[in-house]
Chain A
Amino acid sequence: MINADIIFGSISSLISILFYVVSLSFPKGTTDGIPGPGYFPQLMAVIIFVLSIILIVSGIKNKKRYIVLNEKTSKNVKPLILTIAAMGCFIGLWEFIPFILGAFLYLLILNIIFKQKLKFAVIFAATTTAVIYFIFVNIFHIML
């Protein structure tokens, strides 16, 4: 299994290369030595690249596993993924369904993921959505 440090180091080094390459198209600094818009990001990109390589090397040496699935956490992978998926669906449908319906369904699904009783889930989702909708729309005047 590939070490997480190696994965993160690889991603951050790729990001640094991307930012560096893009910054080459920025306006140049003046002839009297005042740096242009690309100077700071280039400097940061170089530092990130160097640190990423060090992280990759230390990842190869250490081989530490950060996400360990034991008796306790293995049961929690499913609710974790489902929670992220539910949030993704809620945000994905944000512009297609009314907020009040989306928020109600989001809370209802979260209740089911967290194994709450159905009666409680419906009451909690409906009440919370109504209260939040009222506060934001009527008090804060935000169009949800």
Chain B
Amino acid sequence: MEWLDILSNVLHPSVSVYLVIGVLVGVGIGTLPGLTATMAVAILTPLTFWLQPEQGFAMLIGVYNSAIFAGGISAILINTPGTPASIATSFDGFAMTRKGEVGLALGINTIYSVIGGLFSSFVLIIAAFPLARFALKFGPAEYFALAIFGLSMMISVSEKSILKGLLIGTLGLLISTIGLDPMLSSPRYTFGNIHLMEGISFIPVMIGLFGVGEVLHQIFENDQKVRSIMADNTIGRIFPTLGEVKRLLPSTALSSVISVVTGAIPGAGGDIASIICWDQAKRMSKKPEEFGEGSIEGLANTCLANNGVIGGAMTTMLTLGIPGDAVTAVLIGSLMMYGMQPGPRLFVEHADFVKRFMLLMVLANIVILFVGLLGAKLSVKILKVKKEIIWMLVLLLCVIGSYALNSSFVDVVVMSVAGILGFFFRKMEFPLGPFILGMLLGRLGESNLRRALALSQGSYSIFITKPITIILLIAAILSIVIPLIKEFNKKKTVQIH
């Protein structure tokens, strides 16, 4: 199918209505602090199982893009980022609110999030197919090296402790071995239980970790104090002036490129991109002293970066099957639920779906533009929803969502165990990212390692004689070593001081 046919297909009400629903749900979830885009996609994934893939993904793409954009709303209004990607948005966004420029801050958040999202979506459309064609040359050795490269990201997504990241990531890898062996189909760690033959289902684990785990964490950390919501709903002008737009042009153009590239690097998400872009905008600005005090340049660049990373992350996820962050990791699980394995073969076997996916990314941003601008005043009111109501809804939906996927009671048990573990992991500063990477990439790595060794008749030289494998393995080694050196230097500096 050609692009125009696909465009008319995704514009059809049977698909676009799900996109609009997804965007609205994402705005609600993203605005509420503590509810992340990852949680939203994880919970909604089993609920979309009964839809056609394009309908289900219309909803998920809508939720993902809009939740990231809406994370900026609470950052602007109450100085609390709705999602981790909006941390830098609060630097100038909340300062603008205090100056009485709420409407302008919300308008800039919407407009520049959409610009970032659209730019990165076009990069996805342009770059993904050539990259996938290149990746089609991959054999088992290259796939194994790719899995190792993906797994090396455990270090960079380890947050506070590399040791804990590695430990929990390897636990994820070990759990991925439960079920039938990928080569010989002999059962491993099933203990005669038929439900374990297919392994531990990924989706209930995700729902538990990000849904129940997060709610339990919030209950424990709950501050009884009432949130400081604005007393009146007057927000002032929404649109920036032409002069302001011209002033923003050079720095935002550069931020567009930076954020897409950052997004394409596995392990580097919107939080990192927005801080980098905020910093580069400050360096370029004629008024750097305004940064952190309500600068529209600072705000625009961080908002642009949040959504600008999505297209980059999607490019890596779709073409190579490597998750760029937690949300794309969940989206890989969502694709698998529909029987599609992300990677270069997806572009051959489901080329039409990939094109729909890309156009849905573009359309999601257009819908966000209208929802964001028209609903700027309404978004202030979303923050008045009681957190207890959200907790109860999430807790119930997590149970039903995990059951609904396979009508399996075992999945509900897995989800609840994962939820309780998710709480303790958060409390004990165990990052969840490496665990997901381990569960996702374990089978890919193991099966291709053994296939490659079968081809080379047991010789490990197969991994150091192919150029792509060598490049990927060197990249993996670098992404392990560089953060370790940084960590070492940091500790050394602390010791000196």
A and B: real partners?
Answer: yes
Judge whether B212 and A142 touch: CB under 8 Å. no
Q: Are A144 and B400 in contact (CB under 8 A)?
A: yes
* Chain A residues within 8 Å of chain B by Cβ, number: 65
Q: Is the CB of B404 within 8 A of A142?
A: yes
The residue of chain B having its C-beta at the shortest distance from the C-beta of A82 within the complex is B219
A80 and B220 alpha carbons, distance in the complex (Å): 6
Are the C-beta atoms of A23 and B188 separated by less than 8 Å? yes
In the complex, chain A residues 11-30 whose Cβ is within 8 Å of any chain B Cβ = 12, 15-16, 19, 22-23, 26-27, 30
> Chain B: interface residue count, which band?
35 or more
What sequence of 0s and 1s flags, for each residue 415-437 of chain B, a beta carbon within 8 Å of any chain A beta carbon? Answer: 01001100000011110000000
Contacting B at CB under 8 A, from A55-105, are 55, 58, 66-67, 72-73, 75-77, 79-80, 83-84, 87-88, 90-91, 94-95, 103
Pairwise interchain contact A83-B186, C-beta atoms closer than 8 A: no
Given contacts A66-B427, A84-B420, contact A91 B221 (CB under 8 A): no
Q: Given A51-B166, A72-B223, A75-B224, are A91 and B412 also a contact pair (CB < 8 Å)? A: yes
Which residues B151-187 have CB closer than 8 A to chain A?
A: 163-164, 166-167, 170-171, 173-174, 177, 181, 183-184, 186
Q: How far is B166's CA from A79's CA once the two chains are assembled, in angstroms? A: 33
Verify A90–B399 contact, CB threshold 8 A. Answer: yes
Q: How far is the CB of A87 from chain B (nearest CB, A)?
A: 6
- Give, as a whole number of angstroms, the nearest-CB distance from A45 to chain B: 7
How far is A143 from B61 in the complex, measured between Cα atoms in Å?
Answer: 28
B189 at the interface (CB under 8 A from A): yes
Assess A33 versus B453: contact at CB under 8 Å? Given A94-B409, A136-B404: yes
Query: Would you call B50 and A141 a contact (CB within 8 A)?
Result: yes
Known A-B contacts A12-B167, A88-B416, A142-B407; A33 and B457 likewise in contact (beta carbons under 8 Å): yes
| Per-residue contact bits, chain A 36-63, to B (CB 8 Å; 1 contact, 0 not) | 1111110011011001101100100000
Give CA–CA (A47, B177) in the complex, Å. Answer: 15
Contact call B399/A110, Cβ cutoff below 8 A: no
Q: Is A34 an interface residue (CB 8 A)?
A: yes
Contacts of A47 in B (CB 8 A): 166, 170
B449 within 8 A of A: yes
A95-128 interface code vs B (CB 8 A; 1 in, 0 out): 1000000010011001100101000000010001
Interface stretch (choices B106-114, B232-240, B389-397): B389-397
B residues less than 8 Å from A116 (CB atoms)? 388
| A88-B419 Cα distance, complex, nearest whole Å | 11
B163–A54 touching, CB < 8 Å? yes
Give the secondary structure class of A's interface: helix
Residues A55 and B392 in contact, CB atoms below 8 Å apart: no
The 8 Å CB contact of A114, one of B174, B388, B409, B453, is B388
CB atoms of A55 and B167 under 8 A apart: yes
Residues of B within 8 A of A73 (CB): 220-221
Q: Is B446 an interface residue (CB 8 A)?
A: yes
Interface flag for B136 (CB, 8 Å): no
Complex Cα spacing A41 to B442, Å:
10
Question: Does B216 reach chain A (CB closer than 8 Å)?
Answer: yes
Query: A12-B171, A19-B189 in contact; A5/B428 too (CB < 8 A)?
Result: yes
With known contacts A4-B428, A66-B428, A83-B216, A41–B404 Cβ distance under 8 A: no
Q: B457 is contacted by which of A34, A35, A36, A44 (Cβ under 8 Å)?
A: A34
- Chain A residues closer than 8 Å to B471, beta-carbon distance: none
Give the contacting residue for B427; candidates A26, A67, A75; CB below 8 A. Answer: A67
CB distance from A54 to the nearest CB of B (A): 6
- B265 close to chain A: CB less than 8 A: no
Could you tell me the distance in whole angstroms from the C-beta of A50 to the nearest C-beta in chain B?
Answer: 9
In the complex, B458 has a CB within 8 A of chain A: yes
A41 touches B428 (CB 8 A): no
Whether the pair A44, B177 counts as a contact (CB closer than 8 A) is yes
In the complex, what's the smallest C-beta–C-beta distance from B191 to chain A, in angstroms? 9
Q: How far is the CA of A53 from the CA of B215 in the complex (A)?
A: 31
Task: Pick from B184, B388, B399: contact of A37, CB below 8 A.
Answer: B184
The answer, yes or no, to whether A132 is at the interface (CB within 8 Å) is yes
User: In this complex, what residue of B is CB-closest to A18?
Assistant: B189
Q: Is the CB of A8 within 8 A of B428?
A: yes
> Which listed residue, A15, A41, A124, A141, touches B389 by the CB 8 Å rule?
A124
Shortest Cβ distance from residue A117 to the other chain B in the assembled complex, whole angstroms? 11
Task: List the B side residues contacting A36 at CB < 8 Å.
Answer: 184
Interface pairs A-B: 8 shortest CB-CB = A33-B458, A37-B181, A114-B388, A51-B167, A44-B174, A41-B177, A40-B446, A66-B428
Binding site for A on B (CB under 8 A): 47, 50, 163-164, 166-167, 170-171, 173-174, 177, 181, 183-184, 186, 188-189, 212, 215-216, 219-224, 388-389, 391-393, 395-397, 399-400, 403-404, 407, 409, 412-413, 416, 419-420, 427-430, 442, 446, 449-450, 453-454, 457-459
Interface pairs (27), CB distance under 8 Å? A4-B427, A16-B174, A32-B458, A33-B453, A36-B184, A41-B177, A48-B170, A51-B163, A51-B166, A51-B167, A54-B163, A72-B221, A72-B222, A72-B223, A76-B219, A76-B222, A79-B219, A80-B216, A80-B219, A83-B395, A91-B399, A91-B412, A106-B396, A110-B395, A111-B392, A114-B391, A132-B397
